[in-house]
Each structure stands twice: as structure tokens, then as C-alpha cells.
Chains A and B, each alone.
Chain A
């Protein structure tokens, strides 16, 4: 239950920020959405579906698959945040602002 509330709050905040105009805010929004997805993945784990994969691991071992998913997703989201911030930086260089709406008209 607590995981569901956390995912909901993160997704709501992320969606709000992604709908903003500045690229930096959009980047922050995607970071929050990424966290929502990561939390969801971790909460989705469960070892009932298959046996314990590692020799010697007890019955209380966690499901390793969602953890691998979450790690991968975190790495990808880090790279993409860096790229979005670089884009925002470049946007400030060529447009004078990272706000897309103010730059849309001047072509």
C-alpha cells in the first residue's frame, strides 16, 4: 500500500513537471517519473513465481529480477537526465532561454 502511494505521488509530481515549459523542469519531471517506475518495479517483485535462483540462498531471499530491472532503469535514467540537461544548456546558448514557448515563434 505504501509503495502504491509513493508511486502515485512521484508519478503525479513527475507528470506536472513534464508539462512545464522549461527544459530543466522537464528533466526533473522525468527524474521523478523514473523514480516512480523504479519503485513500482521493486514493489512488483515476488519469489512465488519461481524457485530461488542461487544455491545456498534461503527461503527468505528476495526476487532478484526486479532488482536487476531497477538497476538498469536507474542507469538509463541517469544518462537521459544528463542528455536533457545538456540539451537545456544548448538551448540557452542558441535561444537565450530553455523555455520552448518563448522561442517557438522566432524562426
Chain B
């Protein structure tokens, strides 16, 4: 079983390499990338079934002696994230195909390399290896963002690359300090070595700042909305599901193993999460185009995902995990609607749009359902996630964390209504019709993908019990990481 873990990384990487060789043959490239994502999905499902019953699966790559080996480990959280990541990649690939965005010869190899980096970041139990995984993933994302090479892409690219390089440099310095203080980069060994050691804690604080910047936590969030809106619309779908979520995942991992033992940190995590929620949603309410509003929401939602880490009860973390899974799907659907609007109407600026609910009712429904889920209205999956989060926050005694979540939900709804009134109600402004650039099949796929996710999000609300059970298994492993620790540190 443990031999499967490196495969999840090797398949996308090979697909990326082969895709680069097959530069002129789009169909072959598509097949390779989709196959790689499907393999990751299948491995994620198999590993998830295994770790839910049999505990953490590990693999020492290259069978080096203890202390030198890079240990890969899959616990329920990593396995679940593998499935979520692969699913988000498949959605983004579908949207990219339907919009014709994958016509660039390097698009598919880059997506495959990005997926490889994300998979490695999810399965590694080694701090330096995590840095390498971040870089593999980020280098692919730098190029994907700047792929179209226009004025806005170059400017957004410099902001994005600059911020992330600075974060990576801090991360590397942090790894050096932690290694110098403790003599190990194995996450499980660090769990016991770091909390009492002030030199190691200094290194850890650098790591924490770097990961917070990558996750988009306030006040290190400014790059995210400025960069993501200028990527291709399908690339935004991809980044939304993969990049910031990996930052959040690493925060979950670090908190579960190390940060939870650092005294006095928990209230700060709650405070940063609360400020992130508020700043993100206020930025979203002020947005002028669909993607601008939706990318600012990403910042706000990262706050929801990080808040449970300040509470660290099974209920709160389970709610966070459930929220994460449904949120990735819902946000992908909303960004897919923005991408579809851009293709069908030629623009996603609210000032250029209007009356879409009448002219394109299917697209209207495809927006409405996930929008309700994002705002957290019953009976959608978003309601279940938010209800459990707020309930857990009050139960853990963080009443003001719960209060901020409630208030931010209201503002989220407001920003969704802004898109609804701007784009879907009212009259279409006088503007030349862009005509049909895409074939009928592609147009149907563009609308069908978010519609399907939206329907799933509504159905998932009443039927959330199995997913919640899974989330509780994940959370139990995070709140009490002894299984992970014993599996990763060999006697």
C-alpha cells in the first residue's frame, strides 16, 4: 500500500514531462493530464479507504537510514485532500477545454507539474521536501499566470512572483534555523523538538509567516486578489482549488503537530482568522467584476478555514474540513460561471452585464445555487459547514469568533446579491452582441459544469452525514496526531 504514495506524485510529473515533448499534439496532452488527475483521484480514494481503517500509511523514499530519509505519509486529511485536489483539477481542465484556454502548447504540461507539486506538498512529512514541493507547484503557477504575456499579466506576474518568492525565501531561512536548532526536518520529530526550544521557535515563526502569506491570510493577502484576476479564467479556477488550499493544508498540518503545543498562539490564530474574514469580504463587496468579487472572497474564506485551528476541538476541525471540501467545489463552480460569462458575453464586468437570468436561465441557476451555498443559506452544503463551524466556535467558548462568522456571512450574501443584481437581473446594457465564438457543445459544457456542482451542493446539504463522518475521522487524527507521529518516526 505504501508504494502507492510516490506514484501519486510520479504520475502527474511524468505526464508533464511527456506533455512537453508532445508539444504540437493537443489531444495527446489533454489525455495525459486528465489521466494523471484521474490517477491521483483513484489513489486518493484507495488511500482514503485504507487510512480510515488501517491508520497512517508511510513510505521512506530510497530507503535511506532514519534521519536522512524523506518520509512520505498519508493520513485521512492528506488522502481527502488528494481527492479534492484531483477533482478541482478535472473541473478546471474541463472549463479550460470548453473556453479554448488550453490551446497554448505549455498549458497542459504546466497544469500537470502544478498538480505534481501539490500532491507532493500533501503527502510529504519532511519540512525541506515541503519547500521543494511548494517550489515545484509555484514555478508552474508563475508560468501559468504569465502565459498570455499581456500587460496585465506581466504586472500581476511580478506582484505574484515577488510575494511568493519572498515567502519562499523566508520559508527556506526558517527551515535552516529549525534544522540548526533541532538537527532534523522530519515533521514528527519536530513535533517533540520544537515547542520547548526558543531558537527553533524563531525559525518556526519565519515558517509560519511564509505559510500565512501563501495561504493569503491578512495582512499578507494583498497579492491574491491582484494576481488571480489577471490569470486566464480557467487558471483562476485551478489556482482557487489548489494553491491557497495547500497553504491552508500546511497550516492544518503544522498546527496539528507543532503549533498546538506553542503556548499563547491559539487566540492569535482566531484573531487573524477573524480579521481575514472581515477584510476579505469587505474587499469583495467593493468589487466591480465577477472575478474581482470572487477572488476577494477567497481571502475571506481562508479565514473560515483557519479559525478552527485556533480552537482545535474535534467538532471545530471536523467542521473546518467539511467546509473546506464543499467550499472548493462551490468556489470552482462560481469561478466557472464567471469564466462562462466571459466567454458567452465577452465580459464579466458588472457594468457590462444585465438580464442574464432571462437570456441565459441555465447560467443564472448555475450561479444562484453555488452562490447560496457560499453565503451559507439552507439547505445547501455551505449552510451545514457554516452552522457546524459557528456552533463549534460557541461551544469552544470563542463567542466573538462565532459572531464574526455570522456577520461575515451576511456580507457574503450581500456581495452575492451584488453580482445577482448587476449581472442577472435588470436590463442588458446596449452593447454589441459578441456572437457565438464557441461551438454549441462547448457552451453547454461551460454552463453544465457549474450547474452540476451547484445541484450537488444543494443535495449535499441534507445528505451531509457521510461526509461529516469522514470529516470527524480526519479531525480526530488531527486533534490527536499520535497515530501520525508513531507512523512517521520509526523506532
Report which A residues bind B (CB closer than 8 A). 11, 14, 18, 23, 26, 30, 33-34, 36-37, 40-41, 43-46, 48-51, 53, 64-66, 69, 72-73, 76, 79-80, 83-84, 87, 90-91, 94-95, 100, 103-104, 107
Contact = CB atoms under 8 A, between A and B. Distances in A.
Contact of B177 (A44, A80, A91, A104): A44
B176 A40 contact: yes
Given A87-B158, A94-B151, A73 B172 contact: yes
Given A50-B68, A91-B154, 14 more contacts: A36-B169, A37-B173, A48-B183, A49-B184, A53-B65, A66-B176, A76-B139, A83-B142, A83-B143, A90-B154, A94-B151, A100-B155, A100-B158, A103-B155
A13 B146 CA distance: 28
Contacts of B183: 46, 48-50
B162 interface: yes
B66, B128, B158, B180: most-surrounded residue (chain A CB, <10 A): B158
Nearest to A94: B151
Contacts of A69: 128, 175-176, 179
A103 B185 CA distance: 43
Contacts, number: 103
Chain A interface mostly helix, strand, loop or mixed? helix
A37 B169 contact: yes
B272 interface: no
B191 to A, nearest CB: 16
B157 interface: yes
Given A41-B172, A100-B155, A103-B155, A87 B146 contact: yes
A1 B3 CA distance: 44
Interface in B68-103: 68
Contact of B175 (A36, A41, A94, A107): A41
B396 interface: no
A102 to B, nearest CB: 11
A104 B172 CA distance: 31
Interface of B: 64-68, 128, 131-132, 135, 139, 142-143, 146, 149-152, 154-155, 157-159, 161-162, 165-166, 169, 172-173, 175-177, 179-180, 182-185
Given A37-B173, A41-B172, A90-B149, A80 B154 contact: no
Given A40-B173, A49-B67, A90-B146, A95 B161 contact: no
Chain B interface mostly helix, strand, loop or mixed? helix
10 nearest A-B pairs in the assembled complex, by CB-CB distance: A49-B183, A44-B180, A40-B176, A37-B172, A50-B67, A33-B169, A41-B176, A94-B151, A44-B176, A44-B179
Nearest to A69: B128
B158 A83 contact: no
A44 B128 CA distance: 13
A49 to B, nearest CB: 3
A7 B154 CA distance: 31
